[in-house]
């Protein structure tokens, strides 16, 4: 991509997000991170200002802009170096809600989608289980059709927003093998409970939970889309999540690079700024090349997604695996260039180092991305032809 994808409308949005992040987010980051708080207030404020709805249709309270608008929001949040809260906000808006836009009934849209875009209700998407993560087909949570309602039993693991959500899109078995369906579970439902997972390496200002469904009764109207089609819906829905993971990786690496540049220009050793040592200048140059490569592949993936939707799967998968792994290298080098202070909480570099470690795990691990690409490239060469 050679041209700047951001229009005047995107830049206006950027100005208002920037102000919001400076006023409502940055002053609280240290406190939220230290105490492990995922602020529900921020959801309300984000919704009230229309920031969840930037790329959602106007019919549901969104502003109907293209997906670059979501990228603008992600970029401005990256400047606050608060990966945890950002993950919670994005897991709310971009994991469960697109499923409701595409498949929800009028009732589901009115009662859940629209309030969620407004920030009045918090949402989550529950796929992973204690016994099945990468292997989505191996999940055990099941939903039994009881005639006039469904009963859910099972457990979900590592669910972002799990303890603060008002509703959760739950992926459950409705038969054998890949007979999987999606259910909109109101967290007030009897038989539902959640406990917070508080011993995470990073992402401290996000809410992560284990969920339990014990004879959890949900109405027939809780089914999202068609019964037994859930596996296909979820695989499609991963594309937007992986795209966001790719741009987020890029922005986190860029943030760390900027900090490293700043620090090495200020820090002196052996009578000069350390940025004057050739080995450090070359390292910064190498990091800058990687960040640009991450931006190129992730922006190309966004452009193709806007053009082709989920048919852009090959480039999205490539962007996800490349940027998440490369960002770790850049962030690791940025920490190294900070010396001992990089290992403390004083410069924020330790936080981005911790938070970024999730990038090659969440939204499909690196190994799974290569597995998908292996199938596309080796078993079905037409996928790679489509990239050219
Ligand atoms: C902070 C956090 C937030 C999360 N938020 C959510 C959420 O909101 N909703 C949700 O549903 N999930 C969420 N997850 C779960 C996340 O998506 C999974 O952890 C991830 O998909 C990996 O699954 P797993 O942990 O079960 O690992 P496993 O699938 O058990 O994998 C373990 C290792 O084996 C490798 N592996 C597995 N299969 C293969 C294979 N076929 N070939 C080669 N290697 C393989 C994996 O790559 C990995 O290295 C979250 C996780 C974390 C840590």
- CATH assignment of the domain containing 149: 2.40.110.10
Minimum mean pLDDT range among 66-70, 266-270, 319-323, 373-377: 373-377
pLDDT at 383: 61
Q: Which atom of ligand 1 is nearest to the CA of 364?
A: 21
CB 43 within 8 A of CB 122: yes
Is 160's C-beta closer than 6 angstroms to any atom of ligand 1? yes
Distances (CA, A) of 5 to 8, 44, 66, 209, 388: 10, 29, 11, 37, 20
365 band by pLDDT with thresholds 50, 70 and 90:
very high
As a whole number, mean pLDDT of residues 327-336 equals 98
pLDDT score recorded for residue 203:
98
Domains held by the chain: number:
3
Q: Is residue 323 part of a domain?
A: yes
| Same-domain check for residues 250 and 381 | yes
Q: Is residue 3 part of a domain?
A: no
Is pLDDT above 60 for 388? Answer: no
Identify whether residues 186 and 223 lie together within a single domain. Answer: yes
- Tell me the CA–centroid distance for residue 344 and ligand 1, in Å: 29
Domain that holds residue 23: 8-117
Residue 371 Cβ inside 6 Å of ligand 1? The answer reads yes
Widest Cα–Cα separation across the chain:
79
Whether 289 and 380 map to the same domain: the answer is yes
Torsion of CA 133, 75, 344, 265, to 10 degrees: 140
pLDDT for 387 beyond 80: no
Q: Are residues 237 and 380 in the same domain?
A: yes
pLDDT value at residue 270: 98
Residue 3, pLDDT score: 77
231, containing H or E segment: helix 230-266
Indicate whether residue 361 lines ligand 1 (CB < 6 A). Answer: yes
Domain membership of residue 1 (yes or no) is no
- Residue 2, in any domain of the structure: no
**Which pLDDT tens digit goes with each residue over 119-165?**
999 999 999 999 999 999 999 999 999 999 999 999 999 999 999 99
> Which of 177, 210, 228 delimits the end of a domain?
228
* Cα separation values, 207 from 123, 170, 335, 361, Å: 12, 17, 26, 17
CATH number at residue 290: 1.20.140.10
> Is residue 307 in a domain?
yes
The first and second tokens of residue 56, run together, are 């959602």
CA 158 – ligand 1 centroid, Å = 9
pTM surpassing 0.75? Answer: yes
- The rounded mean pLDDT for the chain is 96
**C-alpha 86 to ligand 1 mean position (Å):** 19
Q: Quote the percentage of the chain above a pLDDT of 90.
A: 96
Does 335 reside within a domain? yes
Beta strands 142-145 and 149-160 are antiparallel
d(CA 102, CA 232): 13
What pLDDT, on the 0 to 100 scale, is given for residue 266?
98
Count of residues making up the chain: 388
> Considering only CA atoms, which of 150, 224, 232 is closest in space to residue 192?
150
Choosing from 117, 139, 159, the residue where a domain stops is 117
| Same-domain pairing of 269 and 375 | yes
| pLDDT for 386 | 57
Question: Atom 50 of ligand 1 has which residue's CA nearest to it?
Answer: 158
**90 with 206, same domain?**
no
Q: Is 158 in the pocket of ligand 1 (CB under 6 A)?
A: yes
Whether residues 383 and 240 share a domain: the answer is yes
Same domain? 134 vs 106 = no
- Residue 204 near residue 192 (C-beta atoms within 8 A): no
β strands within 241-337, DSSP E: 268-269, 272-273
Res. 239 pLDDT band, cuts 50 70 90: very high
Closest to 208 measured CA to CA, from 96, 123, 88, 89: 88
- Indicate which CATH number applies to the domain containing 111: 1.10.540.10
Structure tokens at 22: 């400076």
According to DSSP, the residues that pair with 149 across neighbouring strands are: 219
Residue nearest to atom 52 of ligand 1 (CA): 158
Q: Does one domain contain both 177 and 286?
A: no
CA of 274 to the centre of ligand 1 (A): 40
Which candidate, 291, 294, 293, 284, places its Cα nearest to that of 333? 284
Cα separation, 228 vs 174, in Å, equals 7
Contacts of 274 (CB under 8 A, 6+ apart): 264, 267, 268, 280, 337
Query: Are residues 96 and 241 both part of a single domain?
Result: no
Tell me the pLDDT tens digit for each residue of 75-96.
Answer: 999 999 999 999 999 999 999 9
Residues 113 and 147 in one domain: no
For residue 68, give Cα distances in angstroms to 11, 49, 76, 226.
Answer: 11, 18, 13, 30
Mean pLDDT of 277-286: 98
What are 15-58's pLDDT values in tens digits?
999 999 999 999 999 999 999 999 999 999 999 999 999 999 99
Last residue of one domain, picked from the residues 81, 100, 117: 117
User: Known catalytic residue: 241?
Assistant: yes
Average of pLDDT values for 299-321? 97
Whether 384 shows a pLDDT value over 80: the answer reads no
The reply to whether 205 and 190 lie within a common domain is yes
Out of 33, 76, 241, 254, which one is annotated catalytic?
Answer: 241
């Amino acid at each position: 991509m050679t041209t700047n994808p951001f229009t005047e409308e995107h830049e206006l949005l950027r100005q208002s997000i920037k102000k919001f992040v400076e006023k409502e987010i940055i002053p609280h980051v240290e406190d939220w991170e230290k105490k492990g708080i995922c602020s529900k207030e921020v959801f309300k404020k984000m919704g009230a200002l229309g920031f969840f709805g930037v790329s959602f249709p106007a019919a549901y309270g969104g502003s109907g802009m293209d997906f670059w608008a979501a990228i603008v929001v992600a970029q401005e949040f990256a400047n606050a170096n608060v990966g945890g809260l950002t993950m919670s906000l994005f897991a709310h808006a971009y994991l469960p809600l697109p499923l409701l836009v595409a498949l929800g009934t009028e009732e589901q849209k009115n009662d859940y989608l629209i309030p969620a875009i407004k920030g009045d209700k918090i949402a989550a998407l529950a796929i992973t289980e204690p016994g099945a993560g990468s292997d989505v087909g191996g999940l055990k949570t099941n939903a039994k059709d009881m005639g006039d309602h469904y009963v859910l039993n099972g457990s979900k693991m590592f669910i972002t927003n799990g303890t603060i959500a008002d509703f959760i899109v739950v992926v459950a078995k409705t038969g054998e093998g890949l007979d999987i369906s999606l259910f909109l579970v109101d967290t007030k439902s009897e038989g539902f409970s959640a406990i917070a997972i508080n011993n995470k390496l990073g992402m401290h200002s996000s809410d992560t939970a284990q969920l339990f469904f014990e004879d959890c009764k949900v109405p027939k109207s809780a089914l999202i889309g068609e019964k037994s089609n859930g596996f296909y819906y979820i695989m499609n829905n991963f594309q937007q999540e992986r795209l966001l993971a790719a741009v987020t990786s890029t922005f986190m690496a860029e943030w760390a690079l900027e900090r490293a540049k700043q620090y090495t220009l200020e820090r002196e050793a052996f009578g000069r700024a350390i940025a004057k040592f050739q080995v450090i200048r070359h390292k910064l140059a190498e990091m800058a090349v990687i960040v640009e490569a991450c931006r190129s592949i992730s922006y190309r993936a966004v452009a193709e997604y806007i053009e082709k939707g989920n048919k852009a799967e090959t480039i999205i998968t490539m962007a996800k695996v490349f940027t998440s792994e490369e960002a770790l290298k850049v962030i690791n080098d940025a920490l190294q260039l900070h010396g001992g202070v990089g290992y403390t909480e004083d410069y924020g570099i330790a936080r981005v180092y911790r938070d970024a470690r999730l990038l090659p795990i969440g939204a499909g691990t690196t190994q799974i991305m290569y597995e998908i690409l292996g199938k596309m490239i080796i078993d079905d060469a037409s996928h790679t032809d489509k990239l050219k």
